[in-house]
């Protein structure tokens, strides 16, 4: 389902990064009100960590819409974004402080504006039909998240990055653990857009439970490629119009 319905890209060009920042603007500034839209330029949400990040974007193969994004901030533990709102346990810091690490952040998904079957707007939110819409959207959001983690994992392992930090809620950590991903808490909960806690994930060895618990998912995680380069998409076609990006500015 994941690979058949979504294409994941490393945004390695200015056009690809513009899509990434635009998705963040839609989610972080307009939908969730996490960031002040008046402080962003050209309807793109950016900050000082983007210069030391690699950016990923997700496109629906069914509708052509851009529907998700995540960035990977690469650097020393003490320079990662999570340090602005939380504290990493000193023991965890000493273990990973001298290795090349990263933080996965700015995860966002834009819910599809069209259904998979008939491509009509999903406007109903009550009754049985509305329940199906909510379930469909939740399922797609989960698949996008899993696919983005798979993409940043394969990128990280090919660039000598074994450990990645996540600032996420405990319920989300439990969901990922049920799938077989191992997340170790490395700090106390903090109140940042809800209660969140810093976790560290081992990209190399953090999937042993997945091997037996969800073997099909494990095979997919280990199978390359997990993403394409946006520059290759640009070479293969003309630049996509903004209407195909899943958001409007």
In the chain, the number of structural domains is 1
Structural domain containing residue 94: 2-245
Q: Tell me the CATH number at 194.
A: 3.40.630.30
- Do residues 65 and 132 make contact, with C-beta atoms less than 8 angstroms apart? no
Q: What is the mean pLDDT of residues 55-82?
A: 94
Residue 237: pLDDT band (50, 70, 90) is low
Higher-confidence position of 70 and 95: 70
pLDDT at residue 123 in the model: 41
What does pLDDT average to over the chain?
A: 85
Asked if pLDDT for residue 66 goes beyond 80, the answer is: yes
d(CA 148, CA 80): 19
Q: Between vectors from CA 54 to CA 53 and to CA 56, what angle results, nearest 5°?
A: 135
pLDDT score of 126 more than 60: no
Burial pattern 84-102, b for ≥16 Cβ within 10 A else e, equals eebebeeebbeebeeeebb
Res 30 pLDDT > 80: yes
Share of the chain above pLDDT 90, in %: 69
DSSP H helices, 72-206, are 90-96, 127-158, 170-178
Number of residues assigned to the chain: 249
Residue 87 pLDDT: 87
Task: Using DSSP, state whether 110 is helix, strand or coil.
Answer: coil
> Rounded distance, CA 205 to CA 187, Å?
21
Rg, the chain, Cα only: 18
**98-125 confidence digits (pLDDT tens):** 567 999 999 999 876 655 444 444 344 4
């Amino acid at each position: 389902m994941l690979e058949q319905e979504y294409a994941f890209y490393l945004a390695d060009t200015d056009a690809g990064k513009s899509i990434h920042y635009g998705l963040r603007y839609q989610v972080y500034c307009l939908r969730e009100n996490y960031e002040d839209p008046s402080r962003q330029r050209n309807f793109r949400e950016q900050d000082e960590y983007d210069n030391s990040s690699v950016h990923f974007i997700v496109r629906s193969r069914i509708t052509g819409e851009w529907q998700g994004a995540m960035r990977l901030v690469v650097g020393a533990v003490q320079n990662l974004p999570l340090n602005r709102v939380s504290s990493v346990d000193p023991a965890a810091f000493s273990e990973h402080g001298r290795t090349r690490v990263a933080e996965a952040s700015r995860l966002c998904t834009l819910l599809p504006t069209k259904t998979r079957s008939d491509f009509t707007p999903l406007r109903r939110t009550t009754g049985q039909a509305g329940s199906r819409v909510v379930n469909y959207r939740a399922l797609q959001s989960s698949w996008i998240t899993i696919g983005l983690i798979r993409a940043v994992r394969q990128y990280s392992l090919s660039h000598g990055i074994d450990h990645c930090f996540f600032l996420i809620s405990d319920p989300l950590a439990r969901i990922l653990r049920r799938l077989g991903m191992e997340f170790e808490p490395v700090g106390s909960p903090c109140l940042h857009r809800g209660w969140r806690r810093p976790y560290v994930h081992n990209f190399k060895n953090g999937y042993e439970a997945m091997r037996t618990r969800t073997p099909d998912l494990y095979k997919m995680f280990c199978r390359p490629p997990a993403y394409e380069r946006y520059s290759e998409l640009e070479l293969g076609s003309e630049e996509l119009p903004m209407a195909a990006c899943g958001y409007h500015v």
